[in-house]
Chain A
Amino acid sequence: MHRAPSLSGRLAAVAVAVLAGFFGLTGIVLDGAFRQSVEEGIRENLQVQVYLMLGAADVDEDGELRMPDTLSEPRLSSPTSGLYATVADTEGKILWRSDSSLGRDIPYPAARISGEPVYSLVSETGNRKYFALSHLVTWELTGGGERELVFRVAQAGRQADAQIRAFRRTLWTWLVAAAAVLLIAQAAALHWGLAPLRRAAREIREIEQGQRGRLGGNYPKELLHLTQNLNALLESGASRLQRYRDSLADLAHSLKTPLAVLRSVAGEEAARAQRGSIMDQVERMDQAIDYHLQRGAAAGRSGLSSTVHPDAILARIGRSLAKVYAEKRVELEVEIADDAVFAGDEGDLTEILGNLLDNAYKWCRERVRVRARTAPDPRGRRSQLLIEIEDDGPGIPEPDRRAVLERGVRTDRLVPGQGLGLAVVREMVEEAYAGSLELSDSDLGGARIRVIL
């Protein structure tokens, strides 16, 4: 079955998506802004270089350019400095070049309008990148006339790239660190915020395992309504069952006492003639009450069934039967596996074990054995409880077994006792717990009753 993603999974997914989007966009915007400011800085620097060159340059009356041997900017003299300069005429013929630019053919942008420098990122063949600035200057010659010169300065792109790379490294390191911190904070908030839900789930599990009867209080107000209602439901279920049992028991009481009177009156002289038929009717009514009481009062298994350990119940029943059958001095052997638990109602298990053990005590000579362990459920849902009750009595012969398990046949008429018989126990096991009850022979010599619940 496809399971819906968990609440914390959903919230975590949303948090991760939002953080990734936010920090991703922030990073891209900051990165772009920084690149722009770096390029702007280079442009200003190049412009300054152009002005310095203009200051150093001179043009004679013939329009011939004169540049000093050394410029004040030392980088223009070093071939590895990354700063290059040339002066060309409007046709592109180079009139002067700095020492650093020897051997380089930088594709400067063309400047056509005087006083409007053109700035762009250009690539030399061989893929070297340069930030280049071309500045057209119109020189008024002393002898009249004009001379147009293009002052061109370029800076290698590698420095700017290194700068941008360093910035990016720092930027993304901090962004990722901030995202991580926020995610951790978010996870902590989630953990804290969902704690009441986890607690509720744990408490429900404990109810199922029979370790507690109701959910605790002190839940946040969003959950309080839910937990209070759940508690009310648990309580009303339990009290409805109790009411149900009480009313059945009251019904039995109101019928049984008159039955007892009827039975004793029927024994008197005057009624002697009809005694047999009166007694038969009394017996039938009595059995009907027991039967319906037993079936109606069985709690069965519900969704939130708790689990019961059979040890304590067996011990109580054993002590009780030891009193009732004190004459027989029955030796009761009990072997219960540690993992043997019954998923169902304690009263029902008491009823089933009580009736079966009562039968065993009634029929045994001196030994009764009870074994309990878990059995894997063939449908693989929850594991089942397997109980075997054996005695060393006469046993139940093969041909009688079916009849013994049918309602209306009482095999306990011969021996005094109030056991309801195996048939009622079988119906309870099958109807309320979808279990089974089988009869076989015990190695103790008597009957073995195997119940799977």
Chain B
Amino acid sequence: MRILVVEDEAPLRAQIVRELRERGHAVDETGEGHEALYLGNEYPIDVVVLDLGLPGLSGLEILRRWRAAGRAFPVLILTARSRWQEKVDGLEAGADDYLVKPFHIEEVVARLRALVRRAAGWSRSVLQVGEIEVDTGPQTVTVAGRQVPLTAYEYKLLEYLVLHAGEVVSKTELAEHLYEEEADRDSNVLEVLLTRLRRKLDPDRTLDPIETLRGRGYRVRGDRQEDG
């Protein structure tokens, strides 16, 4: 999942970015309003952490311009002010959730995860497609009731595919949402990763949970199960 962090306080931003990267997310960061606007408009962002108290272009204004431009990614606003008036203003300008400073970094991570999940149309924290069950809380995966240990990158890859279950996800899209730098987006690496993931999920080669649509991309097989 690709996260844009907009926060003008450099140490705090560095802290958030580091914590998110440690958890295997691709992160774009800026402390400046106009750059934030540009990044949000031009990059394939999944979710945004936006500080409202930015110098120059205010967080609320950036939010309004993104929404006016049709950018639908969920936005978590950070604010130092705990007044409700401001929270309501932020949420009405198009934010999806808010956190008041100071916050626990785990809280940020949990909110971002929930926002991305909700944006993809999932209401529960456990994503179930066919035999695959992805628990986004502890980040564990079971296939037909059997626990499958995955590396951080394998998990991110699977989570992205499962979040968008039913949709075809192109290789470019996958790469863009998993890696920050273009240099890292070597399609061979992604294919190797996918092959490993398939082997772990389906060692007996009976389920074939991730189908390849030649020239278009990948799709997780099976229906979303929401009320399990």
Contacts and interface: CB of A to CB of B under 8 A. Distances in A.
A354 B87 contact: yes
Given A263-B104, A350-B84, A418-B99, A320 B12 contact: no
B97 interface: yes
Contacts, number: 96
Interface string B47-91: 000000100000000000000000000000000111111011001
A440 to B, nearest CB: 24
Contacts of A255: 80
A306 to B, nearest CB: 16
Contact of B53 (A253, A286, A350): A253
Interface in B1-49: 9, 11-12, 15-16, 19
A261 B87 contact: no
B101 A316 contact: no
- A contact patch SS: helix
Nearest to B86: A249
A452 to B, nearest CB: 20
Given A252-B81, A323-B97, A260 B88 contact: no
Interface string B93-114: 0011111111111010010001
Given A257-B9, A264-B15, A327-B114, A347 B105 contact: no
B189 to A, nearest CB: 31
A259 interface: yes
A267 B16 CA distance: 12
B100 A320 contact: no
A256 B101 contact: yes
A354 B84 contact: yes
A355 B80 contact: no
Given A264-B12, A323-B91, A324-B91, A290 B85 contact: no
Contact of A256 (B80, B95, B114, B118): B80
| Chain B interface extent, by class | 20 to 34
A427 B53 CA distance: 28
B91 A282 contact: no
Contacts of A418: 82, 98-100
Contact of B118 (A245, A263, A326, A353): A326
A353 B85 CA distance: 11
Contacts of B123: 326-327, 329
A222 B89 CA distance: 43
B53 A320 contact: no
A265 B105 CA distance: 11
B105 A249 contact: no
Given A264-B15, A265-B15, A319-B91, A351 B85 contact: yes
Given A260-B102, A316-B92, A326-B118, A294 B9 contact: no
B84 A351 contact: yes
A316 B88 contact: yes
A360 to B, nearest CB: 14
A354 B83 CA distance: 9
Contacts of B87: 320, 354
A263 B15 CA distance: 10
A253 B81 contact: yes
Given A261-B12, A326-B118, A347 B85 contact: yes
Contacts of A76: none
A416 B85 contact: no
Contacts of A326: 96, 118, 123
Contacts of A316: 88, 92
B101 A319 contact: no
A317 B81 contact: no
Contact of B107 (A253, A329, A347, A416): A416
B73 to A, nearest CB: 14
A34 B149 CA distance: 128
A253, A267, A353 interface centre (most CB from chain B within 10 Å)? A253
Interface string A283-299: 00010001001100100
B212 to A, nearest CB: 34
Given A257-B80, A261-B15, A264-B105, A320 B92 contact: yes
Nearest to A418: B100
Nearest to B11: A261
B169 to A, nearest CB: 24
B102 A317 contact: no
Interface core residue of A252, A290, A297 (most chain B CB under 10 Å) = A252
A18 interface: no
A403 interface: no
A324 B92 contact: no
A245 B86 CA distance: 12
B80 A294 contact: no
Contacts of B12: 257, 260-261, 264
Interface in A323-382: 323-324, 326-327, 329, 347, 350-351, 353-355
A420 interface: yes
A347 B83 contact: yes
Contacts of A416: 107, 110
Interface of A: 245, 249, 252-253, 255-257, 259-265, 267, 282, 286, 290, 293-294, 297, 316-317, 319-320, 323-324, 326-327, 329, 347, 350-351, 353-355, 416, 418, 420
Give 8 closest A-B pairs by Cβ, nearest first.
A354-B84, A260-B102, A253-B80, A256-B80, A320-B91, A259-B102, A256-B101, A264-B15
Given A260-B9, A265-B15, 6 more contacts: A249-B80, A255-B80, A293-B81, A317-B84, A351-B84, A418-B99
25 contacts: A256-B80, A256-B102, A259-B102, A260-B9, A261-B11, A261-B15, A263-B102, A264-B19, A267-B105, A282-B102, A290-B82, A293-B83, A319-B91, A320-B87, A320-B91, A323-B91, A323-B97, A324-B91, A324-B98, A326-B118, A327-B124, A329-B123, A353-B84, A416-B107, A420-B82
